[in-house]
Amino acid sequence: MTTTLQVPPKRRESRLQTFLSSRPVMKLRRNKLAMFGLFIMSLFILTAMFAPMIARPSAEAGGNCLRDLNLSSPNQIYNPAGGGFWRALFAAPPSCYSIERESFSPTPSAPSAEARFGTSQGYDIFYGLVWGTRSMFKLALIVVSITLAVGVVIGAISGFYGGWIDNLIQRFIDVLFALPGLVLTIVLITFLKARNPSVDPSLPIILAFTLTGWASYARIVRGEVLRTRQLEYVDAARSLGARDWRLILRHVVPNSLASVLTVAVLDLATVPLNVAALSFLGLGYPTGYAEWGQLVDFARAWLQPQFWYVMVFPAIFIVLFSLGFNLFGDALRDAYDPKSR
């Protein structure tokens, strides 16, 4: 009599488990600098998300924000049962993005219970930095999302079809690369604001960064598509009758995004810094909007040891923000780089 041993069926891993155990993710988890950068990124993301709770509008200086949130006292913003809590969290009115002004004195005041980081030109530095983190994140996500989508589509078309289409697109990209990016952005913002002075100040900034930023994504995606379209599974799908757009969207683009996504993570750090530079030059948001560049501009006239706080706190936010995203972005690029495997 023979007995047969039954092998227990192999337990299938979920997609999340497969992702967490993949080689690039394991390489990231072993990189201490990458984890430190991810920790800093998480702090800024949480600061942006919970800005209304961290820097709540006060009854005196933040009356317009409380009024637009239908709140009678600042403490009501901590109540999840009220509508003001959720509106402040996900759809804060524009008045909440105005930096609270404690006084109209141009002389900075030292950190106190009313203004934890002090004031600059009468504006509360702490409120401006916390709510500025939210405004910078929101703007960076919008700009990077639009430029990434436009760059992926144009780069995929250029790399997949080749020929005169590829040549036309690449020569236009060469023209864009021949112009200094920041100078071109400044020219576009100045032109758009002059033509539409009453428009939302975010729209010219978003449009200018989109027009100057999509080309780098398109160039990267084109190179990946040129490699991917020659692989066997693409030829197999074409032999089965798949149309061009199905090949591009289903088979080519999803396998060509690793490199461009790492660049997008790095751009999430560079876009806020460029916006801050524009505001420092007077081309960004109107005076008093919660945004880092204006706080640096306010501090320019008070670079003295006794007024150290007007520059130190904004500089710490900007340096840590850039450091966190660059540490994680560089590690992400190395983890997904085939040459480093």
pLDDT in tens, 167-185: 999 999 999 888 888 888 8
Position 80 scores a pLDDT of 86
pLDDT in tens, 192-204: 888 877 788 888 8
How many Å apart are CA 86 and CA 104, to the nearest integer? 32
Position 162 scores a pLDDT of 82
Instruction: Tell me the pLDDT band of 4, cut-offs 50, 70 and 90.
Output: low
pLDDT in tens, 150-162: 999 999 888 888 8
Residue 213 lies in a domain: yes
pLDDT-above-70 percentage for the chain: 92
pLDDT in tens, 272-318: 888 888 888 888 888 888 889 889 888 888 888 888 999 999 999 99
Position 68 scores a pLDDT of 86
Residue 24 lies in a domain: no
Closest CA to 56 of 125, 127, 138: 127
Residue 265 lies in a domain: yes
Position 337 scores a pLDDT of 63
Number of domains in the chain: 1
pLDDT in tens, 55-77: 888 877 656 888 888 888 888 88
Length of the chain counted residue by residue: 341
At 64, which amino acid appears? N
pLDDT in tens, 202-257: 888 999 999 998 999 999 888 888 888 777 777 787 777 777 777 777 777 777 77
How many Å apart are CA 221 and CA 260, to the nearest integer? 7
Residue 253 lies in a domain: yes
Position 13 scores a pLDDT of 63
Does the pLDDT at position 341 exceed 60?
no
- Check if the beta carbon of residue 122 is closer than 8 Å to that of residue 128: no
Instruction: Tell me the pLDDT band of 338, cut-offs 50, 70 and 90.
Output: low
Task: Give the range of the structural domain holding residue 289, as residue numbers without chain letter.
Answer: 32-340
pTM for the model stands at: 0.85
How many Å apart are CA 161 and CA 156, to the nearest integer? 8
* Residues whose CB is less than 8 angstroms from the CB of residue 287 and which lie 6 or more positions away in sequence, other chains included: 294
* Residues whose CB is less than 8 angstroms from the CB of residue 71 and which lie 6 or more positions away in sequence, other chains included: 77, 82, 84
Residue 295 lies in a domain: yes
pLDDT in tens, 118-143: 999 889 999 999 999 999 989 999 99
- 95: domain CATH number is 1.10.3720.10
Position 280 scores a pLDDT of 82
- What mean pLDDT is predicted for residues 267-271? 88
- Check if the beta carbon of residue 143 is closer than 8 Å to that of residue 206: yes
Does the pLDDT at position 44 exceed 60?
yes
Tell me the three-class secondary structure of the chain, residue by residue: CCCCCCCCCCCCCCHHHHHHCCHHHHHHHHCHHHHHHHHHHHHHHHHHHCHHHHCCCCCCCCHHHHHHCCCCCHHHHHCCCCHHHHHHHHCCCHHHHECCECCCCCCCECCCCCCCCCEECCEEHHHHHHHHHHHHHHHHHHHHHHHHHHHHHHHHHHHHHCHHHHHHHHHHHHHHHHCCHHHHHHHHHHHHHHHCCCCCCHHHHHHHHHHHHHHHHHHHHHHHHHHHCCCHHHHHHHHCCCCHHHHHHHHHHHHCCHHHHHHHHHHHHHHHHHHHHHHHCCCCCCCCECCHHHHHHHHHHHCCHHHCHHHHHHHHHHHHHHHHHHHHHHHHHHHCCHHHC
Residue 25 lies in a domain: no
Residue 3 lies in a domain: no
Position 42 scores a pLDDT of 93
Q: How many CA atoms lie within 13 A of 130 on its CB side?
A: 22
Residue 134 lies in a domain: yes
How many Å apart are CA 142 and CA 80, to the nearest integer? 27
How many Å apart are CA 326 and CA 268, to the nearest integer? 9
Mean of all residue pLDDT scores within the chain: 84
Does the pLDDT at position 46 exceed 80?
yes
Does the pLDDT at position 14 exceed 70?
no
Position 72 scores a pLDDT of 82
Instruction: Tell me the pLDDT band of 40, cut-offs 50, 70 and 90.
Output: very high
